[in-house]
Structure 1
């Protein structure tokens, strides 16, 4: 017959593994919900930093002016 101490140790080890597995799955599901929730909030939220649209500036065309041109006089 199986020793009762060995049977109790086996049952305790099985219960520990089951509890550890349950805790791991619970932690993994909480982490995946947190990541999914943060991604959902980021997708639904508006743009945090709005970049202003650049305005076009026109460069003035130079008008002819009366400037004296130096000429070489020999």
Structure 2
């Protein structure tokens, strides 16, 4: 998300440079495409990483709770 925020700021700066005529021809298109693709890849990898982490935790077959004491049962 930090990379995405940085790319939005850099994209806005690049568009400003394009609109004021100070950008090199083709630079704006390349930079914006790289920022959009890079941001979407990073967000996608983050989602996949969270998914894999949850699968890993579930595969360990650990109980959802830990019993700290066991009391003897009262049998008649």
Runs of 4+ deviating beyond 6 Å:
none
Coordinate RMSD, CA, aligned: 2.5
Pair 1:34 & 2:49 matched = yes
TM-score by length of 1: 0.53
Max Rg structure:
1
Pair 1:21 & 2:36 matched = yes
Deviation string 1:22-74 (CA, Å, 9 cap, x unpaired) is 1101211210111000011112112156426542136xxxxxxxxxxxxxxxx
Q: Within 5 A, what are the aligned runs for 1:1-74?
A: 9-47=24-62, 50-51=66-67, 53-57=70-74
Aligned length: 52
Unaligned runs of 5+ in 1: 1-5, 59-74
- Relative to its length, the structure with more helix (as a share) is 2
- Structure scoring higher RCO (CA < 8 A, sep ≥ 6) equals 2
